[in-house]
Structure 1
Amino acid sequence: MPLYKTINPNSQTTVKIWKILESFEDLMNNTQLKPESLERVFGMKSELHQRGFLSVRHLLTEFGYQDSDLFYDEHGKPHLKDGKQISITHSFHFSAVIVSENVVGIDIEKQRNKITIIAHKFIDYEFDYLKENDSDYIKKLTAIWCIKESLYKLFATPGLSFKKYFLVIPFEIKDKETVAWIDYQNQKYRYTIQFLEFEGFTCAYAIA
């Protein structure tokens, strides 16, 4: 079973990353799904998304949970029946789940040059320190996206603009962490975010 990596940021929090090597059939054969999950997975048009969805259920098993232990609220935020906090992500052939006593968010993205095309949609302040000729430019853009997406999941306030409400202070890829802020309704919320790279992907996770 391709459990790729396990990280324990603190005593209350665990991150598990899965490398999706199995076929859809193999993932299905070893997964028990509740009826609404079955309907959801068979309604997906992309096998890549189907395999991502199923790999997350395998990660739940690694945590000692089943698909029936997971539910979603009206905003699509995942929850666990035992009250622990959870966040879920998948991108291409990697997926990840973070479980904690604290409110959390996680995101994985593939590092791709096309992110430069949409950078203006999610970056404002960060352009002050980003340099296009930096060898880590694509990696930094991807990290910023992952950081903001993980914070968006943690903050759980639908519709917040990454560009307007989120800012990430200057960092280097080798730092593997940075500070980010959410500036919303005249209040500032400060977070220390961890991130890592593997096989051309970036993963960031936020813990409240």
Structure 2
Amino acid sequence: MPIYKTLTPNSQTTVKIWKITESYEDLLEPITLKPENMKRVLGMKSELHRRGFLSVRHLLKAFGYTDEDLFYDQHGKPHLKDGRHVSITHSFTFSAVVVSDAVVGIDIEKQREKIGVIAHKFLDYENIYLDQKADDYINKLTVIWCIKESLYKLFATPGLSFLQHTLVIPFTIEAAETIAWIDYQEKKHRYQTTFFEFEGFTCAYALPA
């Protein structure tokens, strides 16, 4: 399908989301991939992963970029050749790309009960305000995970820990935004984060506050 949603958090930042309904063949046909990326796609065992990868290239095309314009550094962080900041995510049937003049991170996750099983791996400070018995507990866990994943992507620093170095200030689902921090090597970094839910998924993105 065409782009599912476009958001403009500020004049320097745009988020585009794709709902993946097309077949692998339909996604591949209009896109030109670098040889190494074509090899990578052909080597993917999951068709869902192949479709996710290709949908991201369609989103880049919507921004005016090609596969050639995107490259990754030694830490796996994506970059654009024109120097603008980019972050990429895909989960099941949705993918998203954010492009900004500022450092930025984005993540999409499917809302699933099993996130509660791994909560101890990424929650510390947040346990103070979370209520495991609340109806929105899983939703809030998913928001926190998406925010922390967004921070991890934008910071792109080896050794950064969700548990030890990131924290998310209390929030409500209705507010759709909160402040988050990275506290790493005696330096604190503050970020404005925005989140929203759609079709059983959560998306969050983070920008410097």
- TM-score normalised by length of structure 1: 0.98
Give 5+ residue unaligned stretches, structure 2: none
* Compared CA separation, residues 159 and 46, structure 1 to 2 (3 A): farther
Name the CA distance, whole Å, in 1 between partners of 2:167 and 2:64: 35
CA offsets, 1:56-103, max 9 Å, x none? 000001001111111111111101011110000000000000001111
TM-fit CA distance, 1:178: 0.4
Equivalence for 2:9: 9
Q: Could you tell me which amino acid in structure 2 is paired with residue 132 of structure 1? A: Q
Shift of 1:159: 2.9
**2: CA distance, partners of 1:72 / 1:64:** 18
Q: Aligned equivalents of 1:91 and 1:46: distance in 2?
A: 13
- 1:64-143 → structure 2 map (5 Å cutoff): 64-143=64-143
Q: Is 1:202 matched up with 2:202?
A: yes
1:174 matched residue in structure 2: 174
What CA distance in whole angstroms lies between the structure 2 residues aligned with 1:2 and 1:201? 18
- Output one character per residue of 1:182-205: Cα deviation in whole Å (capped at 9) or x when no partner: 111111111110011100100000
Measured in 2, the distance between the counterparts of 1:149 and 1:179 equals 14
TM, length-normalised to structure 2: 0.98
- Give structure 1 stretches of 5+ with no counterpart: none
> Cα offset for 1:180?
0.6
Superposed CA RMSD in Å reads 0.7
Count of residue correspondences: 208
Q: Deviations over 1:3-29 (max 9, x none)?
A: 100000000000000000001111111
Look up the equivalent residue of 2:7 and give its one-letter code. Answer: I
Counterparts of 1:164 and 1:152 in 2: how far apart (Å)? 12
Give the fraction of aligned pairs with identical amino acids, expressed as a percent. 72
